Structure 1
């Protein structure tokens, strides 16, 4: 929800700055897939170290952030949340370095302010509802949507990949639709909420869907069709503006990128880097298919919604919807099949070895949801869950 806090002036400045960062033109033949930039936004929860409750401490934490990181750290919707964003880049090692500096710097700032930084989809421990950040736009959202504001904070991860032409970007969105439920499952990191196991791997997804514009990306005929849909949704009152277009993949309102926003914030850097690499490979593969005239698979909307529901419920530890055969298969089997299809793109970007290692590690240790449940199972104490999450959030070592 980073775009919630942006004004029209900052959005225009971001659009101007971003356009210089991403190579390519409207002609697909001139978009070099070897030069697809990738950037990441991550949202975090601030918690009280004594109680584990969400802490309304964003202003105190921001005051402790080092000067050199301030431009990449901002408020989120609630005072118990904070967000980081990396500049776009080509190299996964550089992305890891940027994210590592930001996570470590923000974790240190949180500790200096008497709180802890936690990479988790939503608050596992019951407690008072933190206030919403003071912001005129947020006031309008609360006035319009009322009790939709759902929790101590819903924390996601957004991946931006540079696709500078919006017409081409819309075609990419169509190609991405069938793959996103598997990435949704891979990022599941919120099984607990208000002191209970929800039965879901990603309870954040369930809370997030209270906002009326949250949905799988629809099938899009063209960029003009995309713009007409956005205008109609604003006209109906479902959205205040384009920034509230919460489809699982969209054209960024502020940058010349495709933005994928389907998952919980990942507990560790390893997981984030894995997802970023897979998303870039998906975009690369989509561009290659478009250039070759291979059409996107037009998955029916409700079947796609079912696949996302299953991903939120099971994560990778259960079953997933096979959108090719329309049956249920082990989620890991389908994710491995997807990665095999992405292999040429991963090789093109030099990411195959990293992805192979991180995928093996993820399968061995489980998603964030599985790790949280394992931590809780040891003593049935939520303090163990939070301690494990806090440690993983600031761990910058390369375990690949």
Structure 2
């Protein structure tokens, strides 16, 4: 899809700015990135999710075109960036998309909110987006829908690849690092009026869907066999319902990383994308050198993801290769060091270090949501803070 850019500057005066695009980027910097963000629409007065997405999308699409799309429920909207190798371009397009949606939402008396789960419960059952595929999913997987009052919003990062085989090999290699990326982006401690005790309740709710979890280690032949079997036996409606944490896209030549909550702070989204790209550059080079992918014990990897959902960056995590329990920030430092050669090649390392310093000082999204609530004990304050931060891009 064609890249469309806003004339807006790529950052706020008080934010660290990403590097400008290289005229002749090195190989690692030529890896493309793309981001999908799912947002909630909440009523401006009640702050509860409301099903006004069709009108919001219609208004936003006049400027944003097909980069804004419906999601499962009419209380959600999704944006999809164009692929780019430039961190500055990615940030600028994300900011432009958010700004367009914020304006369109305001025209329908809504706030645009980046939270993995709704802070305040909807005032009634949510409405499914009128789409034949969604209707069939609702019938076949009714248990995942509950009482139609649960909605989750994620942030997905795509990294460009040359083939499905390359995407699967990269998925095999990136598995140990995904729990740390999940912890860094935890942003759903509240769910429909209660504190869940988790940093990412979205991760828990999303796991009600089939196949959500760590990807199995597969080559291309095994992927084709398993994907076909899952659809034929009725476990999935179609191959687009393969929801592994790292999966080859079915419609674009990318590896898609699906562990993150949507984040209100735009720079947290860019940090996620450039870390994924930096890791992909390093791991791809190791693949070309013939170095084997790490061997992981499946239960240990699932426990690492569970701890990431519970604690975010505010507690211990699990290093899934060796099995050591470590402070989450130690695991972040290890991830940064692992990705550093790829980040350096793209010119992203100083930018990443500045964003990591800010994240350490201010906490993950879950910590910031709880801090907003702690001021007066009002969930509406949490929603207002999320909406303000989402719009600040």
TM-score under structure 2 normalisation? 0.91
Aligned positions of 1:190-201 closer than 5 A: 190-201=188-199
Residues 170-193 of structure 1 show CA distances to partners (whole Å, capped at 9, x for unaligned) of 111110110000001111000001
Instruction: Pick one of 220, 225, 232 that aligns with 1:235.
Output: 232
Residue correspondences, number: 368
Instruction: Pick one of 143, 147, 164 that aligns with 2:143.
Output: 147
Aligned positions of 1:292-311 closer than 5 A: 292-311=289-308
Residues 67-86 of structure 1 show CA distances to partners (whole Å, capped at 9, x for unaligned) of 23022001000010000010
Residues 219-270 of structure 1 show CA distances to partners (whole Å, capped at 9, x for unaligned) of 11x1111111111111221111110000000000010111101110011111
Of 47-56 and 147-156, deviating more is 147-156
Deviation at 1:297, TM superposition (A): 1.0
Structure 2: any 5+ residue segments left out of the alignment? 4-25
Q: Identify the residue that residue 132 of structure 1 maps to in structure 2.
A: 128
Q: Identify the residue that residue 67 of structure 1 maps to in structure 2.
A: 62
Residues 295-320 of structure 1 show CA distances to partners (whole Å, capped at 9, x for unaligned) of 11121222111111111111011110
8 Å contact 1:38–1:88 — kept in the other structure?
yes
Cα distance between partner residues in 2 of 1:393 and 1:356: 22
Q: Identify the residue that residue 312 of structure 1 maps to in structure 2.
A: 309
Q: Is 1:205–2:200 an aligned residue pair?
A: no
Instruction: Pick one of 273, 281, 285 that aligns with 2:282.
Output: 285
8 Å contact 1:78–1:152 — kept in the other structure?
no
Q: Identify the residue that residue 22 of structure 1 maps to in structure 2.
A: none
Instruction: Pick one of 364, 382, 398 that aligns with 2:379.
Output: 382
Cα distance between partner residues in 1 of 2:338 and 2:135: 45
Q: Identify the residue that residue 106 of structure 1 maps to in structure 2.
A: 101
8 Å contact 1:174–1:298 — kept in the other structure?
no
8 Å contact 1:122–1:193 — kept in the other structure?
yes
State the SS of the aligned residue for 2:258: strand
8 Å contact 2:176–2:319 — kept in the other structure?
no
Aligned positions of 1:1-400 closer than 5 A: 32-65=27-60, 67-127=62-122, 128-150=124-146, 151-220=149-218, 222-396=219-393
Cα distance between partner residues in 1 of 2:106 and 2:29: 40
8 Å contact 2:160–2:254 — kept in the other structure?
yes
Deviation at 1:282, TM superposition (A): 1.2
Deviation at 1:136, TM superposition (A): 0.7
Deviation at 1:66, TM superposition (A): 5.1
Structure 1: any 5+ residue segments left out of the alignment? 1-13, 19-30
TM-score under structure 1 normalisation? 0.90
Cα distance between partner residues in 2 of 1:106 and 1:207: 26
8 Å contact 2:28–2:278 — kept in the other structure?
no
Alpha-carbon distance change, 224 to 66 in structure 1, aligned in 2, over 3 angstroms? closer
Residues 356-397 of structure 1 show CA distances to partners (whole Å, capped at 9, x for unaligned) of 10111111111110000000001000111011100110112x
Deviation at 1:62, TM superposition (A): 1.6
